[in-house]
Chains A and B, each alone.
Chain A
Amino acid sequence: MKSKWLSGPYILWMALFTLIPLGVVFYYAFTDSVTGAFTLDNLANIGNYLPIFLRSIWLSIFATVICLLIAYPVAYYIAHCKPGTQRFLQMMVMLPMCMSFLLRTLAWVALLEDTGIINNLISAIGLEPLPLIRNNGAVILGMVYNYLPYMILPLYTVIMKIDPRLIEAAQDLGCNSRQVFSKVILPLSVPGIVSGITMVFVPAVSTFYISQKLGSPGTILIGDVIESQFKSAYNPNLGAAMSLVLMILIFVCVGIMNRFTNDEEESMVTL
């Protein structure tokens, strides 16, 4: 009974600031921007923007995979340091998050531009400047840089909590280090991987600033289109319809992923 009372404020908060706004999004998505009458036009027109939805999802998938590949070794390393070093390294991971997301992205612009720091250095030593900015690669780089901490932290927490006795037991029973990793450490860190992937993929799909700064007009993402509908085109209805479709697509992607990891976990346990 007591615990129910304690969760009251959060339920109220969620109702006020999550469920009701979601209802508003629904309402806007199904009404006309001028007359306010019920219409399916907004959703019917979404098909025109399918390529942009696809690109947003693909770029985010690439960014998420790269994040995972970078973050796993880092998290593993941090989790096996001395407690003092761990705290320090953890802070180093968090440090960029203390700075504004916009500033960090602008800093990358200054680095990568045609007349930016890196290209100035390259041309100073007599080489051709590289096309570092305004391509898909730069957008993915921006996403990886900005969302990497969200992948490292859950992985670190999970890996740190793995009971060292389990690893010792595996070694006792004749596992070599590769087998220890693939049969013990990796399966036990699956929850961290899942939450890391979700925490990187979901904000990356709907991101809008990174692609404007680091991408070209050809690498516009769905977040940019939604932003423009609210900011300058004054068509919140189309923007709401897009957000709704994006939300459903994210649910589908995350759902597929969870399905696989569940299967994986089950099969691991039954082994």
Chain B
Amino acid sequence: MKKTRILCLFLALILCLPFFALTASAAETVTINVYNWGQYIADGTDDSMDVIEEFETVYPNIKVNYMTFDSNESMYTKLKAGGSSFDIIIPSDYMVQKLIEEDMLEELDFSNIPNFAYIDDSFKNPDYDPENRYSVPYTWGAVGVIYNSKYVDEADVGKWDLLWNVSYMGQILMFDNPRDAFAVAQLDLGYSINSEDFTELTNAADLLREQKPMVQAYVMDQVYDKMQRGEAWVAPYYAGDYLMMVEENPDLAFYYPEEGYNLFVDAICIPKGAEHKKEAELFINFLTDPEIMGPNLEYLGYSAPSQAAKEYMDPEIASDPIAYPDEETLERGSSFRSLSLEGTQEMNRLWLQVKTADTATTVYSILTIAAIMLVILLWIFFKVRKRRKKARRCQKWKTTA
């Protein structure tokens, strides 16, 4: 009996622990809500810098509440649906443009962000934010093809068609968001990745549907796990993430396809309705500080939009040909622009069709028709049986009476 009492006391104490942690930091703190991509900030693992902890040490009265999303579209939906207040979001270029067009971003006060000066001129005043009033570049990078050199024949490598290669049936992963997935098909077909042409979109959708039986899964962040363990062999994904994955599994390799590829910038913004704009700007300034950006991006593997930050990075990483491709490779890249509302809707509609396209329709239809007939037959059977029984009982009653 005593033992149970001690155990109970112990368990109760464990439950109380989080409260101690809370009360310790309760003195006049402001909490900023940061909404970022999954695995997109150095968090102290593998001897990296813990950026958020570092920030909280420098600004002891600001607490960071960090949350993640897995695609621009899911982030947009969450913002649009309302009910959540974020102080920092880090969307990609075309999504920044869309958010600006829909008046969903706060204008930044650059006097609070002096470190913006360290950003390279080529990343200032970008097409998606021409006057550079709403965003500060966080990273840039590109989409290429990751493959497992243990299983994939080098002869098949080089173009996007590796993702349609039947020899790797069931071992291929694909983006689980319409924009990135359509871009892959559009590039394979030789179209622009910003095309809104109806026939081009339909052709791209047909190509994606053709690919579907070969696809193991449509994934976003799960790609890490699956590629690192050799559960899947081929995946289109971001170059920076490849650099992170190859450290876990040296068999992985990467290439920028010949037909072209998507170049992107992810930028830090403050959405409308942010409660702590000033603190959020301090956070942006902190992230843009070369001394922070260097180690942060060294861990992430994504490319730094600032020469100054590169000086705080391992020189080998700062000159990596995958993170910083040469001029010739860069020329093949193209970036996303925000699509019109009709274009987006059309793409979403086609994407849903791709994802719901079914091969076993006839089997299920036959099964269903058979089941409906069975139900009707059984129903009739029961009705008839009941009536007969009733009749029999009536007969009995009559004869006895």
- Could you tell me which residues of chain B, from 23 to 80, have a CB within 8 Å of some CB in chain A? 71, 73-74, 76-77, 80
Judge if B353 is at the interface, Cβ distance under 8 Å: yes
Q: Which of A54, A212, A256 has the most CB of B within 10 A?
A: A54
Q: Decide if B356 touches A48 in the complex (CB within 8 Å).
A: yes
Residues of B near any A CB (own CB < 8 A): 71, 73-74, 76-77, 80, 170, 177-178, 212-213, 215-218, 229-231, 341, 345, 348, 351-353, 355-356, 358-361, 364-365, 367-368, 375, 378-379, 382, 385-386, 389
> Does A270 have its Cβ within 8 Å of any Cβ on chain B?
yes
Residues of A within 8 A of B (CB): 33-34, 48-49, 51-52, 54-55, 57-58, 113-115, 134, 212, 216-218, 220, 225, 228-235, 256, 259-260, 263, 266-267, 270
Question: Is B356's CB under 8 angstroms from A232's CB?
Answer: no
* Chain B interface helix/strand/loop/mixed: helix
Bound-complex Cα distance A82 to B212 (A): 54
Instruction: Report the tally of A-B residue pairs with Cβ distances under 8 A.
Output: 92
Can you list 7 contacts pairing A with B, beta carbon distance less than 8 Å? Answer: A51-B360, A58-B367, A114-B231, A134-B170, A225-B355, A233-B351, A270-B389
| B216, A58: Cβ atoms closer than 8 Å | no
In contact, A233 and B356 (Cβ under 8 angstroms): no
Contact yes or no, A228 B355, CB < 8 A: yes
Q: Check if B77 sits within 8 Å of A230, measured CB to CB.
A: yes
CA distance A230 to B368 in the complex (A): 29
CA distance A256 to B374 in the complex (A): 12
CB distance A115 to B360 under 8 Å? no
Which residues in A have their C-beta under 8 angstroms from that of B358?
A: 51-52, 55, 218
Instruction: Assess the A225–B352 pair: CB atoms within 8 A.
Output: yes
Shortest distance from the beta carbon of A177 to any chain B beta carbon, whole Å: 26
CB distance from A34 to the nearest CB of B (A): 7
A231 near B218: Cβ-Cβ < 8 Å: no
Tell me the complex Cα distance, A260–B76, Å.
Answer: 47
Q: Are B212 and A217 in contact (CB under 8 A)?
A: yes
CB-CB under 8 A from A230, the residues of chain B are: 77
A51 partner residues in chain B, CB cutoff 8 A: 356, 358, 360-361, 364-365
Write the chain B residue with the least CB distance to A225.
B356
- Are B215 and A232 in contact, CB atoms less than 8 angstroms apart? no
Decide if A263 touches B382 in the complex (CB within 8 Å): yes
Indicate if the CB atoms of A267 and B382 lie closer than 8 Å: yes
Whether B352 lies near A256 (C-beta < 8 A) is: no
Residues A267 and B229 in contact in the complex (CB < 8 Å), given A54-B368, A225-B356, A232-B77: no
Enumerate the 6 nearest inter-chain pairs by beta-carbon distance, A residue then B residue, closest first: A232-B73, A51-B358, A54-B364, A51-B361, A232-B74, A234-B77
Chain B residues lying within 8 Å of A212, measured Cβ to Cβ, are 217
B354 to A: closest C-beta gap in Å: 9
Name, among B76, B216, B351, B356, the residue most crowded by chain A CB atoms within 10 Å (CB to CB): B356
